[in-house]
Amino acid sequence: MIRFYHVSKIYKERNYALQDVTVTIHPREFCFITGPSGAGKSTFLKLALGEEIPTSGQVLVTGRNLQSIKSSEFPYFRRKIGTVFQDFRLITTRTIYENITILLKLQGYSNNEMRKRAFDTLRLVGLQSKMESFPEELSGGEQQRVAIARALISKPNLLLADEPTGNLDPELAHEIMRIFQEVNASGTTVVVATHDKSLIAAFGARVIVLQKGKLVDAGE
């Protein structure tokens, strides 16, 4: 699903965000990427999403070499990748339904199909009754679940989550992780970047450890 071959990423002179990382994340796997701040976790996910390109090495995702994909092709490539961020990134002037169906609308889905998918996906995260609410009417935990629904509504093969529980209390963080486990059980590859060791300990999964941009444990 994700393959890094001797991948390095340098943002400034000799400032390695990642250095010579070789690792494979297999289809249907649930995987944590961990390490202290500045370890390279976010850079890893940005490279997997094609938001950044490696300074050296090769990144393959779903069998495609990202360096061979034209910029115009990336929107199509990303349609089967769901992303969840710590800051939610919801549009405050749109309803929950409108927030999570933006991509489906761009893809030309009918209103009936969008409505059905929105209801089914929000039911998965326990928010089917909030479809016509606005983000500011929801709690932080509910907004994060909306962000997860937005990532899942296109039925992605791969879900990338960058510190998705960083702003949540432990109980809500565990609730989010249980949703990820359910998604993974349905066949989606799930990769979660987090520095929360207690969260990792509570959920048995593969753990990839980065430190100062270097791979110190592939978890295999």
Mean pLDDT of successive 10-residue segments in the chain (220 residues)? 96 87 97 94 95 95 92 87 87 96 90 95 93 94 91 93 86 89 94 92 93 94
The predicted model scores a pTM of: 0.90
Give the start-to-end residue ranges of the domains of the chain. 2-90+155-217
Contact 18, 184 (CB under 8 A): no
Collapsed DSSP state (helix, strand, coil) of residue 151: helix
Instruction: Record the tokens describing residue 214, joined without a space.
Output: 């270097």
What is the pLDDT at residue 204? Answer: 84
Identify the residue whose tokens are 């092709």. Answer: 73
Alpha carbon separation from 85 to 42, 166, 191, 206, 218 (Å, rounded): 10, 9, 12, 21, 23
What is the pLDDT at residue 14? Answer: 72
What is the pLDDT at residue 86? Answer: 76
Identify the residue whose tokens are 């520095």. Answer: 195
**CATH number for region 2-90+155-217:** 3.40.50.300
